[in-house]
Amino acid sequence: MLARIGIRSVDELFGCIPGNVRLKRDLKVPGPLSELELVRKMQGTAAKNAANGVLSFLGGGAYDHFIPTVVDYLSQRGEFVSPYTPYQPEVSQGTLQAIFEYQTLVCQLTGLDVANASLYEGATAAAEAVLMAQRVKDRNRVLLARTLHPQYRETIRTYIKNLGIEAVEVPFTNAGTLDPGALSRLLNDATCAVVVQSPNVFGVCEDLKSVSDAAHGKGALAVAVIAEALSLGLLEAPGSLGVDVACGEAQSFGLPLGFGGPYLGFMASRKDYVRQLPGRLCGETTDVEGQRGFVLTLSTREQHIRRERATSNICTNQALCALRATIFLETMGKEGLRELAWQNVQKAAYAADALEAVRGVRKKFSGPVFNEFVLEFSKPWPAVDAALRAKGILAGLPLAPDYPELRNSALVCVTELRTKGEIDRLAQALKEALR
C-alpha cells in the first residue's frame, strides 16, 4: 500500500500537522482490553448500581414497562443497527418503510395529520415545538404550564434564551391541573402557543379541549406534551381535542429505562404546519418501474440544505429507537396497547387507594390520573424515603426543590409491572414508616 501511495511510512501522511502540536507520547487511557477482560470489568461496574436490587415506584418522565422479546430480537439485526441515514433510498427500503410505519402510528395515536421520523427525546421535542410555534405564528411569547416536567421547562428555556422568545409560566390549581383563570388572564395576541403536558408532571390528566379552545381564542397554537406515551393507548387523541402539535417522549414504547437514554422524541402536527415541522420526514413515492418505495422528503426544511434558516439544526435523530417503538406498537397491536394502558390505570388506582388508607398519607390532587400520582405525607419526605429505602423500596420521586410548596410530597408511579404483592408491600412499609 505504501508503494502505491509513494511513501515509505505512514508517518509521512501526517506531515501536514505542525510538529509542535503532534503528540509525542501515548494517550493516557487504559487498555487495550480483550473481550473477556472488558466484559468482566463492565459487569463489575454495573454491579455497583445498587438500584438494581430495589423495588422501584419511580416515574417522572421515564417508565418501567413490559417489552416483548421480539422487539430486542428484531431491532438488533445488523441490517437495522449498522446502516447510515437512508440517503440512498434504493438500498435503504427497510429503514424507510419502518419510518413510514412509525410516522403513521404516531399520527394514529395523536390523531394528527403528519409526524416526523423522531427527535432526540421529550424535553428537546417540547423545545422544538416552541420554536416551531414561534415560526408558524411569528409571535415571541409562549405560555408554559407549571405542570410541565421541570426538566422539559428548563430545556425549553435554554433553547429560547438567545432567540428573544419570552416564556411565562401558568400556575396550577388544587386539583393539580392548569389554572384556567390564570391561563385566560395570561393569554394575549403576542402568544404563539400554550404548552401543556397531559398526563402532567403530577400524573394528572389535563383538560386539553379547554386549553386548546382558550389558545385558539387568541390565535395561539395548542401544544400538548406527552411524557408517558402509553397514555395515548387509552386516552382520547390530542388531535381530536383541538391540539395543533403533540410531542413528547415515547420511551414507554419498547425502550429500556437505560438510565435516561437513548430515548425517543416524537412530534406530530396538523398538515397546515408541515413545512415548519423539524426533523426528517419519510414519504411514499414510486420508482421508474412504478413500484412503491419510500424516500426522505421535504428536505428543504432541514439544515443540510437551508443551513441557518432551517427549521431545526437536527441531523442524526433516533432512528433505531423509533424502530423499536414501531416493532413494539405493531406487536402490542390495538387491543394489546389498550389493555396495557388500562392495567396501568387500574394498578395505579388500587395503589392510590391502598396507600391513602395508611394513616398519614393523602392523595395531594383530586384530578384523574393515568399511572402516577402525588402523595402527601405527615412526615417530611426525606425521612419517609429513608425508612422505605431501608426496606429496599424506592417509593417515589420528591417534588421539591422544583415545587417547594410540595416538599412533603412525592410522585409514585405504578405500571403494569408492579404486582399486587409489591404494591401491598409498599403500603405495609409505608404504614410502618409513618407509625
| Residue 8 DSSP SS3 | coil
The one among 166, 184, 189, 304 contacting other proteins by CB under 8 A: 304
Long-range contact set of residues 10-17: C-beta below 8 Å, sequence gap at least 24: none
Choice between 180 and 261, CB closer to other proteins = 261
Nearer Cβ to other proteins (202/294): 294
| Residue 66 binds other proteins (CB under 8 A) | yes
Residues of span 69-108 touching other proteins by CB under 8 A: 70, 72-74, 76-95, 97-101, 103-105, 107-108
Q: Among residues 197, 200, 317, 415, which is the contact residue for other proteins, using CB under 8 A?
A: 317
56 binds other proteins (CB under 8 A): yes
Binding to other proteins (CB under 8 A) within 113-142 occurs at: 113-115, 117-118, 120-124, 131
Residue with C-alpha cell 424535553?
A: 123
Q: Which is nearer to other proteins, 185 or 304 (CB)?
A: 304
The answer to whether 238 touches 208, Cβ cutoff 8 Å, is yes
How many Å apart are CA 195 and CA 215, to the nearest integer? 10
Q: Looking at 5-13, 132-140, 184-192, 213-221, which segment touches other proteins (CB under 8 A)? A: 5-13
**In the complex, minimum distance from the CB of residue 420 to other proteins, in angstroms, rounded to a whole number:** 4
Stretch that binds other proteins, among 133-141, 212-220, 319-327, 357-365 (CB under 8 A): 319-327
Among 129, 134, 145, 159, binds other proteins (CB under 8 A): 159
Position among 287, 378, 390, 432 found at the interface with other proteins (CB under 8 A): 287
Helix (H, G, I), strand (E, B) or coil at 430: helix
- Residue 185 within binding range of other proteins, rule CB under 8 A: no
Q: Least separation, in Å, of the C-beta of 311 and other proteins?
A: 9
Binding-site string for other proteins from residue 202 to residue 241, where x marks contact by CB under 8 A and - marks none: ---x--xx-----------------------xxxxx--xx
Q: Does a cis peptide bond (omega within 30 degrees of 0) precede residue 404?
A: no
Looking at beta carbons only, is 179 or 206 nearer to other proteins? 206
Supply the angle between the helices 420-433 and 381-390 in degrees, to the nearest 10. Answer: 120
Neighbouring residues of 78: CB distance < 8 A, sequence distance ≥ 6: none
- Tell me the chain's radius of gyration from C-alpha atoms: 25
Q: How far is CA 238 from CA 59, 106, 112, 115, 186, in A?
A: 22, 11, 8, 13, 23
Toward other proteins, which CB reaches closer, 22 or 185?
A: 22
Residue 342 DSSP SS3: helix
CB 200 within 8 A of CB 176: yes
* The three grid cell numbers given for residue 22, joined into one nine-digit string: 503532534
Residues 241/210, Cβ–Cβ less than 8 Å: no
Residues numbered 386 to 415 that lie near other proteins (CB under 8 A) are: 394, 397
Cβ at position 404, least distance to other proteins in Å: 15
CA angle 325, 124, 271 (to 5 degrees): 70
**Footprint (CB under 8 A) of other proteins, residues 12-31:** 13-18, 20-23, 26-31
